[in-house]
Amino acid sequence: MNVVLLGAPGAGKGTQAAKMVEEFGLPHISTGDIFRKAVADGTALGLEAKRYMDSGELVPDEVTIGIVKERLQQPDCARGFILDGFPRTVPQADALGDALASMGRALDAVVLVDVPKSALVERLTARRQCRACGRIYNVLTDRPSVDGKCDGCGGEVYQRDDDTVGTVTNRLDVYERNTAPLVEYYRGRGLLRVVDGDRDPDDVFVDVTSILRGE
Ligand code: AP5
Ligand code: MG
Ligand code: ZN
């Protein structure tokens, strides 16, 4: 199953992806996670990506596309993959289609996690994440049992640098401008499936599961 998770910042792409990994055993490819790891490791890619991420702008297409193409060649993607946060622009979507075609593959579904904009700022500013395993929390709705410590691995639970009110506002604008057009792009190709993401994450996942099972 070759799946793209589409949705605004805070829609719950990472939350649903974690459930999909557990249920379907597919690799989760999040370009945001790849960039955050590069920043943490202090690599050249990290230095470049940080300039854009801190203000909520997109990392340039030529950088991002190359990384994803290479990742899709890895053996663990042979059975399928979950792309989260990619593509985010029409050129990225075109490049993904071309890359898959050259591998004799294609997307099976693009799942739009649909959440009203009014809910997103609160979700994002309340989000916390484990620095070690990436597990996602929320200080309002899903706190770790011990403050600042991951239930899963004991790692440090922190707030992402781009989850401040100012940066979140710009990220939502950037989404509307650059990424929202992909909804029509994929609808026109017959791939778009919409799930109502403004419900309990487990209820959202019931719908995601039926899409992946082809129901
Ligand atoms: P990225 O890491 O992809 O961030 P994003 O798209 O802004 O999405 P988020 O990770 O913020 O939200 P999410 O949908 O995963 O929500 P989550 O599940 O965590 O990108 C970061 C940056 O990297 C970009 O700004 C850009 O600079 C760069 N970048 C990345 N990819 C790029 C690309 N392709 N091209 C160029 N640049 C790129 O949930 C959010 C919160 O809500 C959590 O607290 C969670 O607990 C809670 N929550 C989740 N689901 C629910 C629910 N159903 N009900 C209530 N609360 C919920
Ligand atoms: Mg995410
Ligand atoms: Zn952890």
Q: Is the CB of 50 under 6 A from ligand 1?
A: no
Q: Is the CB of 127 under 6 A from ligand 1?
A: yes
Quickly state the pLDDT bin for 144 (edges 50, 70, 90).
Answer: very high
CATH numeric code, 2-116+192-212:
3.40.50.300
Does residue 106 have a pLDDT over 90? yes
Given this model, what pLDDT does residue 214 score? 86
Does residue 13 have a pLDDT over 90? yes
Given this model, what pLDDT does residue 152 score? 96
- Residues 139-158 have a mean pLDDT of 97
Quote the percentage of the chain above a pLDDT of 70: 100
Question: Residues 41-85: pLDDT tens digits?
Answer: 999 999 999 999 999 999 999 999 999 999 999 999 999 999 999
Does residue 194 have a pLDDT over 90? yes
Given this model, what pLDDT does residue 25 score? 96
- Residues 145-162 have a mean pLDDT of 97
Active site residues: 13, 88, 127, 160, 171
Quickly state the pLDDT bin for 210 (edges 50, 70, 90).
Answer: very high
CA 14 – ligand 2 centroid, Å: 4
The angle at the Cα of 26, spanning 136 to 178, to the nearest 5 degrees, equals 65
Does residue 22 have a pLDDT over 90? yes
**What mean pLDDT, rounded, does the chain reach?**
97
| Ligand nearest, relative to CA of residue 206 | 1
Going from N- to C-terminal start, the domains of the chain cover 2-116+192-212
Residue 15 in contact with residue 141, Cβ under 8 Å? Answer: no
Quickly state the pLDDT bin for 215 (edges 50, 70, 90).
Answer: confident
CA 175 – ligand 2 centroid, Å: 13
Q: Please give the Cα distance from 148 to 159 (Å, whole number).
A: 10
- Residues 4-8 have a mean pLDDT of 98
Q: What residues contact 115, with CB distance under 8 A and at least 6 apart?
A: 7, 8, 10, 11, 12, 123, 197, 198
Which residues lie at CB < 5 A from ion ligand 3? 130, 132-133, 135, 150, 152-153, 155
**DSSP category for residue 106:** -
Quickly state the pLDDT bin for 141 (edges 50, 70, 90).
Answer: very high
First to last CA, the chain: 14
Q: Please give the Cα distance from 68 to 179 (Å, whole number).
A: 17
- The protein residue with its alpha carbon nearest to ligand 1, atom 57, reads 12
Q: Is the CB of 2 under 6 A from ligand 1?
A: no
Per-residue tokens: 170: 């710009």
Which element (helix H / strand E) includes 110? Answer: strand 109-114
Residue type, 140: L
- The C-alpha R_g of the chain, in whole angstroms, comes to 16
